[in-house]
């Protein structure tokens, strides 16, 4: 991601202000989804779960609208089928834990979006 004011890349260690232009980052990404792919590099379920956990932590720290998880559509009994089933179950649990909601991505049968509850501004 980049600061919307100056274009400076914002890393995972971002705090509340841009390190280059000192612009407040709090509301810059409020309508942004963080997107991760957990099934297309041959990940095991353990690795996929760790990616989801990191994705949730990164998205919440940056106060993003949510996390889009690409898990594949699981067309058979193979690798993406296992990841898809486990990812959906795990994401439902995370939605309950974080007070969010989980929806299928309308544009991809192989993805879900975990929306975080946002506070009114």
* Domain locations in the chain as residue ranges: 1-28, 33-115
Predicted TM-score (pTM) of this structure = 0.75
The yes/no answer on whether domain 33-115 falls in CATH 3.40.50.170 is no
- What digits encode the pLDDT tens for the residues 55-112? 999 888 877 889 999 998 866 666 778 899 999 999 999 999 999 999 999 988 899 9
User: Of residues 60 and 50, which shows the higher confidence score?
Assistant: 50
Q: Minimal CA–CA distance to 87: which of 107, 114, 63?
A: 114
Token pair of 59 as six digits: 């998205």
Mean pLDDT for the stretch of residues 28-53: 88
Rounded to 5°, angle at Cα 76 from 75 and 77: 145
**pLDDT grade for 120, boundaries at 50, 70 and 90:** very low
pLDDT of residue 76: 63
9-18, 35-44, 46-55, 70-79: which range is least confident on average? 9-18
**What backbone phi and psi angles, to 5 degrees, belong to 103?**
-135, 155
What DSSP state is assigned to residue 77? S
């Amino acid at each position: 991601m980049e600061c919307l004011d100056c274009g400076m890349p914002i890393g995972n260690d971002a705090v509340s202000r841009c390190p280059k232009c000192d612009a407040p980052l709090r509301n810059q990404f409020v309508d942004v989804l963080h997107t991760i792919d957990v099934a297309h590099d041959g990940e095991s379920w353990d690795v996929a779960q760790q990616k989801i956990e990191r994705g949730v932590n990164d998205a919440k720290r940056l106060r993003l609208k949510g996390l889009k998880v690409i898990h594949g559509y699981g067309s058979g009994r193979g690798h993406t089928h296992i990841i898809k089933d486990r990812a959906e179950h795990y994401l439902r649990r995370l939605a309950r834990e974080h007070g969010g909601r989980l929806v299928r991505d309308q544009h991809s049968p192989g993805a879900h979006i975990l929306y975080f509850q946002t506070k009114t501004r």
